[in-house]
Structure 1
Amino acid sequence: MIYTVTFNPSIDYVINVEDFRSGTVNRVVSEEKYPGGKGINVSRVLNNLGVKNKALGFIAGFTGKFIKDSLQSEGVDTDFIELSGDTRINVKLKSNEETEINGAGPDINEKNLNKLFEKIEILNSDDYLVLAGNVQKSLPTNIYSLIQQKCISRKVKVVVDTTGEALTSTLKYNPFLIKPNNHELSEIFNVEITNREEIIHYAQRLREMGAQNVIISMAGEGALLICNEGVYHATAPKGTVKNSVGAGDSLIAGFLAKYSQTLNIIEAFKWGAASGSATAFSMDLCKKEYVEELLSQINVTKI
Structure 2
Amino acid sequence: MIYTVTFNPSLDYIVSVEDFKLGLTNRTSSELMLPGGKGLNVSMVLGNLGIENTALGFEAGFTGKEIIRRVEKMGVRTDFIPIENGISRINLKLKSIDGTEINGCGPYIDEAALKKLMEKLDALEEGDVLILAGSIPNSMPDDIYKKIMARLQGRGVMIVVDATRDLLVNVLEYHPFLVKPNNHELGEIFKTELRTREEVIPYARKLKEMGAVNVLVSMAGEGAVLVAEDGTVQEAPAPKGKLINGVGAGDSMVAGFIAGWLEKKDYRHAFCMGVSAGSASAFSEMLATKEEIETVYKQVIGE
Answer yes or no: same fold by TM over 0.5.
yes
> Within 2, Cα distance between the matches of 1:64 and 1:98?
25
> Aligned letter for 1:264?
D
Instruction: From the superposition, tell whether residues 97 and 170 of structure 1 become closer, same or farther in structure 2 (CA, over 3 Å).
Output: closer
CA distance in 1 between partners of 2:219 and 2:72 (Å): 33
1:117 corresponds to: 118
Letter aligned with residue 15 of structure 2? I
The within-5 A match list for 1:54-73 is 54-73=54-73
Change (3 A) 1:93 1:268: same
**Partners in 1 of 2:195 and 2:34 — Cα distance?**
36
User: In the aligned structure 2, how far is the partner of 1:154 from the partner of 1:111?
Assistant: 24
User: What is the aligned partner in structure 2 of residue 256 from structure 1?
Assistant: 258
Mean CA deviation greater in 172-181 or 193-202: 193-202
Partner of 1:24: 24
Deviations 1:19-56 (A, max 9, x none): 11121222222211100000000000000111100000
1:35 touches 1:67 (CA, 8 Å); kept in 2?
A: yes
Structure 2: how far apart are the matches of 1:165 and 1:246? 22
Aligned to 2:234: 232
Q: 1:191 to 1:99 in 2, by over 3 A?
A: closer
Give the SS at the match of 1:29: strand
1:229-272 residue CA offsets vs partner (Å, 9 max, x unmatched): 31111232100111121000000001111212322222111111
Q: How far off is 1:195 after superposition?
A: 4.0
Inter-partner Cα distance in structure 1 for 2:66 and 2:4: 18
Q: Unaligned stretches of 5+ in structure 1? A: none
The one-letter code of the counterpart of 1:295 is Y
Provide TM-score, normalisation by structure 1. Answer: 0.96
Distance in 1, matches of 2:98 and 2:262, equals 39
Using the TM superposition, give the Cα deviation of residue 192 of structure 1 relative to its aligned residue in structure 2, in angstroms: 2.8
2:81 equivalent to 1:100: no
User: What is the aligned-residue RMSD (CA, Å)?
Assistant: 1.3
Aligned partners of 1:108 and 1:139 also within 8 Å: yes
Corresponding position of 1:270: 272
Q: Which residue of 1 is the match for residue 75 of structure 2? A: 75
Cα deviation for residue 96 of structure 1 reads 4.9
Q: Give me the TM-score of the superposition, normalised by structure 2.
A: 0.96
Deviation at residue 172 of structure 1 after TM alignment:
0.3
Residue 98 of structure 1: how far off its partner (Å): 4.8
Q: How many correspondences in the alignment? A: 300
What's the offset of the Cα at 1:196?
A: 3.2
Gaps of 5+ in 2: none
Give the equivalent residue in structure 2 for 1:245: 247
Aligned to 2:129: 128
Secondary structure of the 2:14 match is strand
Give me the whole-angstrom Cα distance separating, in 2, the residues matched to 1:98 and 1:148.
32
- The separation in 1 between residues aligned to 2:134 and 2:195, in whole angstroms, is 26
Partner SS, residue 277 of structure 2: helix
